[in-house]
Structure formats: structure tokens, C-alpha cells
Amino acid sequence: MRELLKNKGFKLTPQRELIFSIFLEQRDHVSVDELYDEIRKLDSSIGYSTVWRNLKLICKLGLAREINVGDGITRYDQVTHGPHGHLFCVKCKKLVEFSVDKIVGFLDQVAEDKNFQIESFKIEIQGLCDDCRALNEKTSV
């Protein structure tokens, strides 16, 4: 961690250390606000900008990616989980991952056909998750 930062000219501050470690232990895809709330529980003196800037830095270092599901909130997705798609529940906003191994070949082919140089891809299914679906049926009867 310290080395990864040092090599690129970044400094290791207590705030940064805390933000990195808390972010990396999140299982879900957190937003700035969500991470900020977590951080504040541990050190209420850390500012919002600092959390925001460090999330950006985490992305720049290649440890996470920004995800935009269209609800106006940017979430941060650890790339250490490997390439994957997302199921996004439009009701409860839950984001669940799934493996996309079976279709990366197809995507590579598409890009090759159009002479497009892939930087990243995004595969997202939007709809209702298991829970919200059950809930919907109950309340609509």
C-alpha cells in the first residue's frame, strides 16, 4: 500500500490510510456519502472532500471503478473482484455482481470488428431483485 502510493508520488496520511482500508473492506458498492458516513464513525474530523478525493485516487490507482446506474449517484466498485456484471434493483438500489466470463469473448469480437480499443465494459441488468419482487406481489394483491 505505502509502496504503491510512494511509487507514484502520493503521500500516506492517516486519513488516506483509514479511507483506503475502510473502502477496501466494503462488500457493497459504496457511494461517496456512504463511505463518508462510515469514515465519520471512526474519525469525525475527516472532511467530505478528502473522502471524495481519495475515492478518485483509488480509481486512478486501478483499485476501483466508478459505476453509474442512472440514479444520479456514483458508486465505487472494487476491481479486485475481477470482471463482472451487475444486477441493479431499481427498487431497493441493491447492486449484485455476476460473472461475465462467458461473454467477454463476444465483446472482444464486437470491438475488433469495429476497430475499437476497449478500456472497460459495463454489463448491467436492471429490474427487480428477488426480495422486492416478492414484496411487490404481496402488496399488489
CA dihedral 34, 39, 44, 50 (to 10 degrees): -90
Which is nearer to DNA, 76 or 89 (by Cβ)? 76
Residue 31 CB, shortest distance to DNA, in Å, is 6
Surface-to-core class of residue 93, CB atoms within 10 Å of its CB (0-12 exposed, 13-18 middle, 19+ buried): middle
User: CA 73, CA 63: separation in Å to the nearest integer?
Assistant: 19
Among 53, 65, 84, 93, binds DNA (CB under 7 A): 53
Helix, strand, or coil here: 66? strand
Which is nearer to DNA, 59 or 96 (by Cβ)? 59
| Residue 77 · residue 65 · CB < 8 Å | yes
Among 23, 29, 35, 54, binds DNA (CB under 7 A): 54
Count of residues touching DNA (by CB under 7 A) = 27
Residue 115 CB, shortest distance to DNA, in Å, is 29
Residue 129 CB, shortest distance to DNA, in Å, is 22
Q: Enumerate residues 3-32 that contact DNA by CB under 7 A.
A: 5-6, 9-16, 31-32
List of residues 6+ apart from 62 with CB closer than 8 A:
79
Residue 26 binds which entry of DNA, a copy of itself, none, CB below 5-8 Å type-dependent: none
Residue 4 CB, shortest distance to a copy of itself, in Å, is 24
The backbone torsions φ and ψ at residue 74, rounded to the nearest 5 degrees and listed phi first, read -85, 130
